[in-house]
Amino acid sequence: MIYVLKIYFLGGIWHMKFGHFDDQTREYVIETPKTPYPWINYLGSEAFFGLISNTAGGYCFYKDARLRRITRYRYNNVPIDMGGRYFYINDNGTVWNPGWSPVKTELDAYECRHGMGYTIITGKKNDLKAQVTFFVPNGYDGEVQQVVLTNEGSSAKTFKLFSFAEWCLWDAQDDCTNFQRNFSTGRVEVDGSVIYHKTEYRDRRNHYAFYSVNDAIDGYDTDRDSFIGLYNGFNNPEAVLAGKATDSFADGWSPIASHYKEITLAAGESKTLIFVLGYVEMPVDQKFEADGKTINKVKAKAMIEKFDTPEKVAAGLADLKASWDKLLGILNVTTPDDKVDRMVNIWNQYQCMVTFNLSRSASYFESGIGRGMGFRDSNQDILGFVHQIPDRAKERIIDIASTQFPDGGCYHQYQPLTKKGNADIGGDFSDDPLWLILSVSAYIKETGDWSILDEMVPYDNDMSVAQTMLEHLKVSFYHIVNNLGPHGLPLAMRADWNDCINLSCYSDTPGESFQTYTNPKFKAEGGYSKVAESVMVATLFTYTGPNYVAILKHLGKDDEAAAAQAEIDKMKKNIMESAWDGDWFLRAYDANGEKMGSKECEEGQIFIEPQGFAIMSDVGKEQGADKKTLAAIDERLNTEFGLVLNNPAFTKYYIQYGEISTYPGGYKENAGIFTHNNAWIICAAAYAGEGDQAFKYYSEIAPAFTEDTSDIHKTEPYVYGQMIGGKDAGSDIGRTGKNFGQGKNSWLTGTAAWNMVAISQYILGVQPDFDGLKIDPSIPSSWDGFKITRKYRGAEYAVTIKNPDHVCKGIKSVTVDGNAIEGNILPVFDGGVHNVEVVMG
């Protein structure tokens, strides 16, 4: 069949859509397998995780995508998206997959529904329909795959079904590099319809994986080359083409798991098969059966039994959906724009959960090998997630803070499996400590649970030097104060939030990591320049610091609060004296003491990062710095697809700036639309009362708004990506505009949390504060109003906001349960539902 795309002409551009939102079921429905890039989903949100594309590509892992990878995936493969959980059907010589790939036989019908923690892929060919539901049930270390086969024809059908999963030898890095060993270690066991993967289990590992099906099988394969054939591919496995498994038994090479079954269905008949891809850990003394060799399968069998009937699967799925109802029932909005509603109520919150779980480790752009959890990344993820499960947020904050050093510096990353700081990357990223202040504050603002400040938290995972969380905040705050440069601005160190502004690197040798290389030039100074300063960290400090002051005041530590406030005031003064460029804030001083991000610069005259935080902390407000800056941003950085990071783009390598100038103009940190920091400007515009401007920037990048231009945008229209090609994209090859608007690096980005903050707290104006829920919208003036329900500290607030005068910002009156209140902080209640009416004006 010809795949039907929704094509229409609007605003001078052809728009192509590849699917649609189903808001009722909270699903994105993909209508063709040929999306402009694989559009993926995540399964699992506790310990067992899977990535799954709309053609069933992807892989799974337990807790840590590098150290405990369960199935294999081929990143950067040709063709794209190879490796996955594949079902092959051989229907009298016609071989096909329900998800189209990898065989790519044209289907008679195709649909993929990505929902909250599950994906349903349906394919139809020659009257046979195959619907596969993939999900990781709550509290379960495995992926359930339910296959429903239906004969929609008018006569009986006999066909063959093959499942397929390829085992990864646990450590994903080793798995794709150490072939001299790996080709000789693979081991399996087969027991009835269950294939066990036990490589290294006899020796040093206490865990195995299995792939089961709840029915008798007619054969199996566990050796990849026997199943596929050395010179064939996933698209034409020999066993599938031959219509029969080989019953191969892997001993080294590449172990796989494939079940084979011959099935006959009468006209109209259906058959359901349930596969489980599971992971089991065993106590050392119980690893084997009495013979000391055979795997102890007790736990695996219990797992298989848990989902061995369609009823149990339906209950598991219902339970998963119920948990998402709960998570998404905390904040709900009804605005005049259904795209906003679907972002806020469904997809943005969903993405926040995924980024919270995975930080920047495993996506289709993050290989799961390079990066564990980021100190700054995970702290920021808390901001978008904390209202969903505050307990898990608290646990995470403590894990993160445990990788801090006594002087307030921090490991930049840690591995989720060990929770230990990653020594390869080390520390000295100048912004890191400040994000901890922000995440702890967000947790308290949400929950009112001040006891987090009393938690004893180790330094560098060493409990013998534990201190209270409050002390961790103090060392975080003073890490900035104690590391100032010549202008009284924070030292930039290895990098600040922008990993690609490396002011102490001066790297001229390929292969040196911009993030970790220490130039001998700065060795004597401790590894980084004592001249290079970050204005971004300065403004992040003035934005974050007041939270620390408020915490101290709440605790009655007035002297300490005053001392901290004095540092903030001093910083503001220093910024205005040395970092105000007349119409916007500078970006930095480089190691030569030269300005970066100034009108005086040849390129990179204005940068986005310091501006928003400066505006939101009122730096230079009395001189009109906020409005001037917003105007400059609109003029120099804004485009129809979002705000570029800097302008003009760098066209040559500036050794004193580092990685940023290595990217062709318009990509990544060199004048790409880096969506994460767009949110800071959205927040700042809203804060400054420019609701129309804030909403304009919001809608330029919010995924649901990009759906119409998916053919340009390419990545999933339901989640943010890290980057969109900027207006300078293509300029290096004389084709400015090429790839402008093209998304990359979807899913794992701080953009998720920050845009959740931007839309819910700054635009719609529901801001958890230390003393209660504050309502302070800054909306498009055209809106008549909107409604919010918000569960908060045990009570539920049903808020109606009216905007009779069509203002962007400002509140005339607030009534709670019929009584007018002073100000706009809603009282904290002991439960119950409370009706709030807010009139703007």
Chain positions contacting ligand NOJ, by CB under 6 A: 360, 374, 376-377, 497-500, 669
CB of 669 to ligand BGC, least distance (A): 6
Q: Using CB distances below 5 to 8 A depending on partner kind, what does residue 66 bind out of ligand BGC, ligand NOJ, none? A: none
Contact partner, 374, from ligand BGC, ligand NOJ, none, Cβ < 5-8 Å per class = ligand NOJ
**Which residue in 431, 432, 581, 669 binds ligand BGC (CB under 6 A)?**
669
Between 64 and 377, CB nearer to ligand NOJ: 377
Q: What's the closest the beta carbon of residue 425 comes to ligand NOJ, in angstroms?
A: 11
Could you give the string, one character per residue 530-569, with x where binding to ligand BGC holds by CB under 6 A and - elsewhere?
----------------------------------------
Could you say which of ligand NOJ, ligand BGC, none residue 377 binds, taking C-beta under 5 to 8 angstroms by partner kind?
A: ligand NOJ
Shortest Cβ 490–ligand NOJ spacing (Å) = 16
| Edge-to-edge strands, sheet with 825-826 | 766-769, 772-775, 825-826
Q: What is the 3-state secondary structure (H, E, C) of 655-683?
A: CCCCHHHHCCCCECCECCEEHHHHHHHHH
Concatenating the DSSP letter of every residue in 450-503 gives GGGGG-EEEETTEEEEEEEHHHHHHHHHHHHHTSB-TTSSBB-BSBSSSTT--T
Residue (500 or 756) nearer to ligand BGC, CB: 500
Q: Would you say 53 and 121 are in contact if contact means Cβ atoms under 8 Å apart?
A: no
Encoded one letter per residue, x for contact with ligand BGC by CB under 6 A and - for no contact, window 719-748 reads ------------------------------
Spell out, one character per residue from 119 to 148, where the chain touches ligand BGC: x when CB under 6 A holds, - when not: ------------------------------
Q: How far is the CB of 415 from ligand BGC (least distance, A)?
A: 15
Q: In angstroms, what is the minimal distance from the CB of 607 to ligand NOJ?
A: 12
Residue 716 binds which of ligand NOJ, ligand BGC, none (CB < 5-8 A, kind-dependent): none
If we measure between CA atoms, which residue out of 84, 52, 86 comes closest to residue 354?
52
Nearest approach, Cβ of 718 to ligand NOJ (angstroms)?
21
Q: How far apart are CA 581 and CA 605, in angstroms?
A: 10
| Tokens describing residue 604 | 């990179």
Of all residues in the shown chain, the one whose CB is closest to ligand NOJ is: 499
| Per-residue contact flags (x/-) with ligand BGC for residues 476 to 515, judged by CB under 6 A | -----------------------xx--------------x
300: Cα separation from own chain's centroid: 31
Name the token pair of 371: 């990066």
Which residue is it, tokens 């996506």? Answer: 363
Compute the least distance from the CB of residue 261 to ligand BGC, in Å: 45
Asked if 668 is part of the footprint of ligand BGC (rule: CB under 6 A), the reply reads yes
Query: What is the C-alpha to C-alpha distance for residues 44 and 68, in angstroms, rounded to an integer?
Result: 15
Which candidate, 774, 808, 803, places its Cα nearest to that of 688?
808
Name the binder of 515 from ligand BGC, ligand NOJ, none, CB < 5-8 A by kind: ligand BGC
Give catalytic status of residue 499 as yes or no.
Answer: yes
In the complex, minimum distance from the CB of residue 434 to ligand BGC, in angstroms, rounded to a whole number: 17
Angle value at C-alpha 389, between 449 and 276, nearest 5 degrees: 150
Q: What is d(CA 158, CA 262) in angstroms, rounded to the nearest whole number?
A: 7
Strand partners, 800: 787, 837
* Nearest residue to ligand BGC, by Cβ distance, number only: 499
Place of tokens 């001040």: 450
How do 833-840 and 795-802 pair as beta strands? parallel
User: Which residue, 65 or 826, has its beta carbon nearer to ligand NOJ?
Assistant: 65
Catalytic residue (choose from 499, 590, 728, 776): 499
Q: How far is Cα 178 from Cα 160, in angstroms, rounded to an integer?
A: 36
Q: Is the peptide bond before 79 cis (omega within 30 degrees of 0)?
A: yes
**How far is Cα 551 from Cα 28, in angstroms, rounded to an integer?**
42
When the beta carbons of 675 and 699 are compared against ligand NOJ, the nearer one is 675
166 in contact with ligand BGC (CB under 6 A): no
Q: How far apart are CA 233 and CA 88, in angstroms?
A: 13
DSSP single-letter state for residue 809: B
- Binder of residue 389, out of ligand BGC, ligand NOJ, none (CB less than 5 to 8 A by kind): none
Residues of span 199-228 touching ligand BGC by CB under 6 A: none
Residue found under tokens 């397929």: 164
Nearer to ligand NOJ, 370 or 823 (CB): 370
User: How far is 651 from 695, CA to CA, in rounded Å?
Assistant: 32
Amino acid at 490: P
Angstrom distance (rounded) from CA 528 to CA 525: 6
Residue 187 binding result from ligand NOJ, ligand BGC, none, given CB thresholds of 5 to 8 Å by partner type: none
Give the x-and-dash track for 633-662 against ligand BGC (CB under 6 A).
Answer: --------------------------x---
Cβ atoms within 10 Å, residue 317: 20
Of 757 and 838, nearer to ligand NOJ (C-beta) is: 757
Please report how close the Cβ of residue 668 comes to ligand BGC at its closest, in angstroms.
Answer: 5
Taking the chain, what is the end-to-end CA distance rounded to the nearest angstrom?
56
And the tokens for 433? 């400590």
Residues known to be catalytic: 499
Would you tell me which residues interact with ligand BGC (CB under 6 A)?
Answer: 499-500, 515, 659, 668-669
